[in-house]
Structure 1
């Protein structure tokens, strides 16, 4: 079920094409964004992400703050209450491995599959919305909501941490500190890398969303395969092969919080994630263009 092509300006419309039809104006991004924004799962996910800093601050208040004196090495968790910047970095550390995977898989995996589950997908294409236009609109909105989720957590954490522990330099576990004025741009860079590293999860969820009519299958499949990637990265016997796993570079953002900014790990991780994401998105477009839409 494909949409007819539009006629060039000044030319007669092809047979079967409505006058004034413009494929590029179908399913505007603002319409798709409003549809996704009004869904309950969007507010539930935003609430969970915003609640994490409060839960963590409450845990530190009850437990008396982190204490690394029993360890031979100081970790980022041990410096969590040093300042608002440290608290934001700690929240990013505890959530980057799994929690931030969930909103990305949800917003990108629940797009096309949800339309199919509601039996509204074929009606969208009959509007007519070209298949490529539909996918681009849903992918763009899914990525935008995923980016918003990535930004929401550290922003709330920075506000909560500043209110609880004060505004100050970012104390580094390796020794030394980053001035408060430098800490915020470094944290922004870390958040940006986390988003790029999650593009492979977004691409995987989006591809699965075009292959199934079950949104939970697309979201759960993307989360499950991401977990498998983390497990494989823990298998040291794989040696250098682990460098081809996106999970191997998921904490490379910590290089942004060093006295001297290190780009090597983040550059390699970004290259791996973007490569996988482009392949998965291309597979999604190729498969959806040939799919018989009956939902």
Structure 2
């Protein structure tokens, strides 16, 4: 089936490592703190899909006209971001994804408009490009897009990953993504041809409950599945707001085989919310300086496994 009409594309996944590197056979891009999306663009239409292939246009009405900025039918891979002071603000983006009221979405899109930053092209005018080398796809992407405030093309550096990583550190950005110049686009698969090097590590967890520690202080109880059974993985407090807790549905039943120590006062919830927690990398199985980054609407709890 045609990749465009069947909406059959899925994003290539990215491996990770801590240390940046230099290599003339690689390019390096800034890693943006946004929502990964595939954009199906054609005359008169723009269709944005998240990693679960769910349409997300209704959350970002300001992006529905960007098809006018591309020269023909295409599928672009990129990140939806909201910039504040020139830096991606994931919290503002997270707030947008949780809105359902059309008026509030329109209001937020006027106050803090999103943009789509494209970094790859999978398809152009009836032709799949996934078997083309990255450098060829980058050239096609550059020719396709006419940049505006709502759509841009990701810049990259050739061969010099360490310098770009240090620049990302200085600007307090997420980090960089290294990509092999000759890499093909492996839909839905993780490959060492694309490697992210981040200042902070992040990980997905299932929310199993919460503990109220003060009038405005909450801690989320984190878990992952192991062979279909929830396993306790710790807590996160920093970044957790009352609004984040309101998203959860209380069940009252402890989901673990045994009650984890220190969770006697927990309020248990249905384990149907996946969140992202950012933390300092370390060699022990403990979350160091964890920070709640928000919920992931494009990841199911069944995907969060040990």
| TM-score tier after normalising by the smaller chain length | under 0.3
Structure of greater Rg: 1
Q: Give TM-score, length-normalised by structure 2.
A: 0.20
Normalized per residue, the structure richer in strand is 2
Normalized per residue, the structure richer in helix is 1
RCO higher in structure (CA 8 A, sep ≥6): 1
